[in-house]
Structure 1
Amino acid sequence: MTDKADLNTAARKYAAFFEQVTLERVKDVHELISDDVHFIDPFNDVKGRANFEKVFDKMYEDVQEPRFKILDLAWSGDLCFMRWDFACKQKTLGNWSFRGISEVHFDKDAKACAHYDYWDASRHFYRKLPVIGAIIRWVAARAAI
């Protein structure tokens, strides 16, 4: 079992990676993640370092000036929760930002082996799209009290 101090150090390095990531520095994550890392967000469900890196490559294709601000790290046993804000510029959405939380699991070597992002893609993405956004807003209004 990995020492709690080692896990905390690993989580802080992992969080710092997100705050400092650039297209040129995406590969820096390799020293922080396991070979078989599992990543899930509202758009992706991928395994492995190469696919994890492709998520970032795609982000840099789709948005300009992406920025993560890590707000908190919290622990439940060996499980780390990372609360963050994301902001960028996007062609269709303009200036775009939202808050999310990540569930990060670490292996025995203090490498991130699973990273699951939770954020409201309906409210913060799909509702803002032309055409489909109008449908989603209508459905949401019908379901609301």
Structure 2
Amino acid sequence: MTERADLRATAKKYALFFEEVTPERIEDVHELISDDVHFIDPFNDVKGRANFEKVFHKMYEDVQEPRFNILDLAWSGDLCFMRWDFTCKQKLLGNWGVRGLTEVHFDKDAKVCAHYDYWDASRHFYRKLPVVGAMIRWIASRAAI
């Protein structure tokens, strides 16, 4: 059985990875994640270490100056929740940011085996896009009280 202290140490290192990641340091996550890690965010649903890394490489292709600020870690048993702010510059959106939450699961070796991001892509991304954003804003206004 994995010690809770091991999980907490991995979670802290994992949070630090996000705060310090650069294109040259993406592979630093290898020691923290399992070979078959499952990653889900509003744009991706991938499995495996190589695909996890591709998500980061794609991020660096799509945006400039991406930055994660980890606000806190919270625990429910062996499940870690990581609350964060993400900011970047994006060609279509300009300066852009979002607050989100990540659900982090660990395997028996205290490695991250699942990373599930939760953030409102409609409000914080799609509504800001030309054409699509206008349609989403209209639909949202029709559904609101």
Tell me the distance in 1 between the aligned counterparts of 2:14 and 2:108: 16
Instruction: Provide the secondary structure at the position in 2 that maps to 1:25.
Output: helix
Match of 1:59 in 2: 59
Counterpart AA for 2:23: L
Give the deviation of 1:16 after TM superposition: 0.2
- Show CA shifts across 1:72-104 (max 9, x none): 100001000000000000000000001000000
Tell me the distance in 1 between the aligned counterparts of 2:35 and 2:99: 28
Counterpart AA for 1:100: G
Asked whether 1:2 is paired with 2:7, we answer no
Give the deviation of 1:133 after TM superposition: 0.2
TM-score of the pair, normalised by structure 1? 0.99
Match of 1:41 in 2: 41
TM-score of the pair, normalised by structure 2? 0.99
- Show CA shifts across 1:4-36 (max 9, x none): 111100000000000000000001011110000
Match of 2:86 in 1: 86
Tell me the distance in 1 between the aligned counterparts of 2:56 and 2:73: 22
Q: Report the RMSD for the aligned CA atoms in angstroms.
A: 0.4
User: Identity over the aligned pairs, expressed in percent?
Assistant: 83
Give the deviation of 1:48 after TM superposition: 0.2
Give the deviation of 1:125 after TM superposition: 0.3
Match of 2:105 in 1: 105
Tell me the distance in 1 between the aligned counterparts of 2:129 and 2:28: 33
Instruction: Provide the secondary structure at the position in 1 that maps to 2:110.
Output: coil
Instruction: Provide the secondary structure at the position in 1 that maps to 2:138.
Output: helix
Counterpart AA for 1:53: E
Give the deviation of 1:42 after TM superposition: 0.2
Give the deviation of 1:113 after TM superposition: 0.2
Q: List gaps (5 residues or longer) in structure 2.
A: none
Tell me the distance in 1 between the aligned counterparts of 2:101 and 2:132: 26
Tell me the distance in 2 between the aligned counterparts of 1:98 and 1:50: 25
Counterpart AA for 2:129: L
Match of 1:77 in 2: 77
The runs of at least 4 consecutive aligned structure 1 residues that moved more than 6 Å come to none
Count of aligned pairs: 145
Q: List gaps (5 residues or longer) in structure 1.
A: none
